[in-house]
Structure 1
């Protein structure tokens, strides 16, 4: 005759086998790809470049409202940057090795002084750091910032010379952006219409405020270009998606309406 302890041991074995069988059945019924998905969540695909935005800033407005600039202050539109945008008119995020936007390894910003030497003179003239435009170190800090934020996820992540030359070529190809004189005021719509009449494409208008924050100023005119074929720089001017600055579907910046009046200093 078995002792009570032997019966208890046998019962425990039966219960254990039953639990293991049920667990195995549940696992077998699950899709293995579902388990993998939950354990190893895939990275989001990188955003696709839809177009490029060439941002041209008006130095008298930038230096009278945003920056403290050392003279001389340029009296023509200078380049702020050329930015790859997605289909929602959002900037393509900077390169991140944990979720890369390109299979190529971007050129590090610290290499720019060597890579950009052939066009350094042109960049200093047309794409200066307005805070201290005659200071080459300050200029490279500005160019390195733009490269890291926008160039590393452009179509030229390992070719900064082509990236910067593309903006220079576009700017040098525009002789006139607006025909009205300085010290005048216009609505945002009037400025956009003026650019359309001159260049045959609608821009995006960016405003800032004067130091006393009592007057809206024409700070930037941004022009949009269709994404080029591989191996080509941007060259086809298109209408910008939004005339006013928009982020995540909301208007940002001092100008909230096309009827807002802005001063051209």
Structure 2
């Protein structure tokens, strides 16, 4: 992605690797959930992340059964400001991806 590390891609990789390994961004604790068969509303997940890390992520969903209205969490994406070092979170431009938007949000 875009960064201020254009002359130091290895430095960028190392900085992002540190962020990925940080417990601050461990998905389940950040989302405030435990594995369960009970669905969690996307709005709840977004608000839990905002409370824990201070910015809204992007939630990515998948449908395990095509045509189903049951969504499953695929990814949680954090957005960082484009600067050196890569450590300042910002709200992601879109809080949910198109797959999540494709199903009526009130149904789960």
Asked if 2 retains the 8 angstrom alpha-carbon contact of 1:195 and 1:201, the reply is yes
Q: Identify the residue that residue 88 of structure 2 maps to in structure 1.
A: 236
Contact preservation (8 Å) 2:80, 2:87 = yes
TM-score by length of 1: 0.34
Q: Is this contact kept in 1: 2:58–2:94, CA < 8 A?
A: yes
**Mapped contact 1:162–1:233 kept (Cα < 8 A):** no
* Closer/same/farther in 2, CA of residues 161 and 224 from structure 1, 3 Å limit: same
CA contact (8 A) 1:201 1:239 kept: yes
Contact 1:244/1:258 (CA < 8 Å) preserved in 2? no
**Residues 1:239 and 1:188: Cα distance change in structure 2 (over 3 Å):** same
What is the CA–CA distance in structure 2 between the aligned matches of 1:188 and 1:207, rounded to whole Å? 10
1:170 and 1:235 in contact (8 A); partners too: yes
Preserved contact between residue 244 and residue 255 of structure 1 (Cα < 8 Å): yes
CA distance in 2, matches of 1:189, 1:224: 18
The 8 Å contact of residues 31 and 46 in structure 2, kept in 1 or not, is answered as no
Query: C-alpha separation between the residues in 2 aligned to 1:258 and 1:226?
Result: 29
Q: Could you list the structure 1 runs, at least 4 aligned residues long, displaced by more than 3 angstroms after superposition.
A: 257-260
- The match for 2:77 is 222
- Higher relative contact order, structure no. (Cα contacts within 8 Å, ≥ 6 residues apart): 2
Q: CA deviation at 1:205?
A: 0.9
Task: For 1:158-177, list aligned pairs within 5 A.
Answer: 158-173=7-22, 174=24, 175=26, 176-177=29-30
Deviation, structure 1 residue 216: 1.1
Gaps of 5+ in 2: none
Query: What do residues 202-260 of structure 1 show as CA deviations (whole Å, max 9, x unaligned)?
Result: 111111111x32331111111111121xxx22111122222122xxxxxx2x2116545
CA gap of 1:178–1:193, structure 2 versus 1, over 3 A, is same
Alignment match, 1:255: 100
Provide the aligned length of Structure 1 versus Structure 2.
99
What's 2:35 paired with? 182
Distance 2:107 2:11 in 1: 38
Residue 158 of structure 1 and its aligned partner are, at CA, apart by: 4.0
Gaps (5+ residues) in structure 1?
1-82, 85-153, 246-251
Task: Give the 3 Å change call, closer, same or farther, for CA 188–159 of structure 1 in structure 2.
Answer: same
Report the structure number with the largest CA radius of gyration.
1
- Displacement of 1:188 in angstroms is 1.3
